[in-house]
Chain A
């Protein structure tokens, strides 16, 4: 079957789905949804429909991004709007289903919002939710709305029209289009994508490779996983467009082994592409041929670096190479190679479908378009978001994320993972673009955004990141191998109460050396967490060193818990929670902590309902 008839069929089926004569029940089945219990919801829905002989179609969708509401379900009666339910249990899902299907009662007291024709019983529209309203979803355009395992859904929503258009253009024109769009690499460094393609195209020789970097190694980031799980074809289409523009017929997707669901969905997607004539020889009846191999990573952060990734694909230790030669000149197996990130490709397919001008209308002058972020940490509404470049940090953290939890004070936001830095709350006016974040000492990074509150210690955070980079340093160059270790040792001393003022000078010196002297990006950016915290939170370092205090209550040797006898009403909860018997006291009388026995596990502190337990 040719593509046009596939498209026709896909559109017909999608229309039929939209006008379904029975209830449509969608369940978010990304990794997050599953971790929160989506499988149980899916099973319950199936069982209820079968047991009661009710008509209804169940459909799995990817992540819509409101991860804090997982597991989620939406229900649409024929001709009606979608009603969204979140934080479900199997029992509640069953009740909702029974009420909706049998009594036409959507149980709106349990619903979050609706989408489509309204209004519905005082519910807000999905698009008007505070978390959703400021967002512009381009890379995530289909996530949560289509079945990621059904290529027809993607095609019906305009999928592969970008590739169709590209194949009617000259490769140079495609590169020009991407240049005009202003798209910059979404892996973090922000190199203009069109320019990168041009370098690869202009390299000599016949054989070239294109690689999709799905080795999302930054701890605290899950944008690429969600995109691959929720809409794999948008990435694959972008990769095909890139391959055509560069002039290559073979590509690799290098993906983390920790993402089994994304790997599985990629396998399904590539199989469907072959069946639809979108992969293999003479794609869509043109001269363009392309093969994709999926390579599973094996757990090495450094393999996110381009030259290390190519060494890993070739089967060896993933260690970086000095540049030049750049991958565009001499990459995989010595051939010119172009590497782009998952999200970059997800944007490319949209740019070719809707045009460079349209894309460039979003964002700022130097940072065009949108960026996805994985919003996590001490924040009310965790999730996956996509915002126009130039949005201010405070809009993301307070409007979209709803601020920090439980009346705590927000302290900082960490962007860019181990390569990025901590931006303090008083700089939250900063616009989110490549240059602004760099000037604040952090980086855009691939999109991890971890919010920290007053219970987060800003000396422990760089220690955490340095223990990661010291562990992940491949060991090839000395500044990174030894420098990360020296920084970690100094941070350990400070967190254990043995730090001296000289350690601060040492941290400054070593961090500059590692930054300047390291071979690859891992080492060059590893000092960022140290440098930003020294810059913005020096007083916390000094409290650790001079007063031997960790006010956040994280570094165990530098604080203890105590019970405020004025507040404690002797409920006895802390006594029960303490696993080492360090708490004593009579019922209804203030309790005490035996500091000799206390292991500072924090169980009492977290459990106290009256905030009677303090860090001191």
Chain B
């Protein structure tokens, strides 16, 4: 079914994990019931759960790494692959489905040339689907990072993506000029 192969965090950036776990060590006691909040904390910072983080949680809690992995893979929220700068989550709730969210998803997939769970080659976008955001009255809905966009159609959705691309392009141009 799903390819549950976790990735290693890049060696050159591994201090990031170490500093994160210094913080986590202060915030959590390492009890078994804290496992999900700890995983959430890691993902919030790193965007996904790399191998080193899963092992670090195993050491902190004293739980077997297999149990950590088993719990993490049970929940749809957790990712094991790095994500793009913008995570586009297409709502697949009932109201959105009735209002054509499958077509919206297909359009975005075709436009970005990736499937749900994958990242575009430029590292800008990751597509995901979500069971329901609970913004059904504005269906179909998609969420880009933390912003919800409602009452969408194909062209509005693609315009959103184009705007992000354009913004990113001009800001990178800016920074090269600055250099």
The answer to whether B135 and A32 have CB atoms under 8 Å apart is: yes
Q: Are B98 and A450 interface neighbours, CB within 8 A?
A: yes
Q: B37: which of A296, A448, A474 is its contact (CB, 8 Å)?
A: A296
Q: State in angstroms the CA–CA spacing of A81 and B75 once bound together.
A: 49
Q: Which of A67, A258, A301, A377 is B133 in contact with, Cβ under 8 Å?
A: A258
A301 closest partner in B (C-beta): B131
Q: Does B148 contact A (CB under 8 A)?
A: yes
Contact A450 to B103, CB < 8 A, known contacts A220-B95, A300-B74: no
Q: Are A601 and B151 in contact (CB under 8 A)?
A: no
Is the Cβ of A382 less than 8 Å from the Cβ of B136? yes
Partner of A35, one of B67, B93, B100, B135: B135
Q: Is A260 an interface residue (CB 8 A)?
A: yes
Report the count of interface residues on B (CB-CB < 8 A). 47
B132 surroundings in chain A (CB, below 8 A): 217-221, 258
Chain A residues with CB under 8 Å of B67's CB are 316
Q: How far is the CA of A218 from the CA of B95 in the complex (A)?
A: 11
Q: Are A378 and B99 in contact (CB under 8 A)?
A: yes
Asked whether B83 is an interface residue with its Cβ less than 8 Å from the other chain, the reply is no
Residues of A within 8 A of B151 (CB): 36
User: Counting CB contacts under 8 A, is A299 at the interface?
Assistant: yes
* Chain A contacts for B39, CB-based, 8 A: 298
* Residue of B32, B133, B153 contacting most chain A CB atoms (<10 Å): B133
A side interface size, CB within 8 A: 60
Chain A residues 459 to 508 lying within 8 A of chain B, measured CB to CB, are 461, 464-465, 468, 472, 474
Residues of A within 8 Å of B81, CB to CB, are none
Contacts A219-B92, A258-B132, A378-B98: A317 and B137 contacting too (C-beta < 8 A)? no
A34 at the interface (CB under 8 A from B): yes
Tell me the chain A residues, 226-248 only, with Cβ under 8 Å from chain B: none
Q: Which of B17-25, B138-146, B168-176 lies at the interface with chain A?
A: B138-146
Determine whether the beta carbon of B138 is less than 8 Å from that of A32: yes
Bound form: Cα–Cα A295–B40 in Å: 11
| Closest-CB distance, A121 to chain B (whole angstroms) | 28
Q: How far is the CA of A465 from the CA of B151 in the complex (A)?
A: 22
CA distance A256 to B75 in the complex (A): 12
Which residues, 147 to 163 on B, are CB-close (under 8 Å) to A?
Answer: 148-151, 153-154
Question: Quick check: is B9 within 8 A (CB to CB) of the other chain?
Answer: no
Residues of B within 8 A of A256 (CB): 134
Residues of chain B within 8 A (CB-CB) of A375 are 137
Asked if B33 lies at the interface with its beta carbon under 8 angstroms from chain A, I say yes
CA distance A314 to B35 in the complex (A): 9
CA–CA, A378 and B96, complex, Å:
10
Cβ of B106 and Cβ of A448 under 8 Å apart?
A: no
Asked whether, in the complex, the Cβ of B33 is within 8 Å of the Cβ of A601, the reply is no
A391 at the B interface (CB under 8 A): no
Interface flag for A313 (CB, 8 Å): yes
Q: How far is the CB of A115 from chain B (nearest CB, A)?
A: 21
Whether the Cβ atoms of B136 and A299 lie closer than 8 Å is no
Contacting residue for A601 out of B77, B78, B94, B106, CB 8 A: B106
A31-B148, A299-B75, A450-B94 given as contacts; is B138 within 8 A of A67 (CB)?
Answer: yes
A interface footprint on B74-97 (CB within 8 Å = 1, 0 otherwise): 111110000000000000111111
CB proximity of B43 to chain A, nearest CB, Å = 9
Q: Are A417 and B94 in contact (CB under 8 A)?
A: yes
Q: Are B130 and A601 in contact (CB-based, < 8 A)?
A: no
Report if B121 contacts A (CB, 8 A).
no
Give the complex CA separation of A563 and B32 in angstroms.
62
Contacts of A15-38 to chain B: CB distance below 8 A: 31-32, 34-36
What 4 new A-B contacts, CB under 8 Å, besides A315-B35, A384-B137?
A: A32-B150, A299-B77, A377-B94, A468-B131
Name B residues whose Cβ lies closer than 8 Å to a Cβ of A.
31-37, 39-40, 67, 70-71, 74-78, 92-100, 103, 106-107, 130-139, 141, 146, 148-151, 153-154
Closest 10 pairs (CB-CB, A-B): A67-B137, A220-B94, A299-B76, A298-B75, A222-B134, A219-B93, A376-B95, A35-B148, A376-B136, A382-B137
Which residues of A line the B interface, CB within 8 A?
Answer: 31-32, 34-36, 67-68, 70, 216-222, 225, 256-260, 295-301, 312-319, 374-378, 382-384, 414, 417, 448, 450, 452, 456, 461, 464-465, 468, 472, 474, 601-603, 606
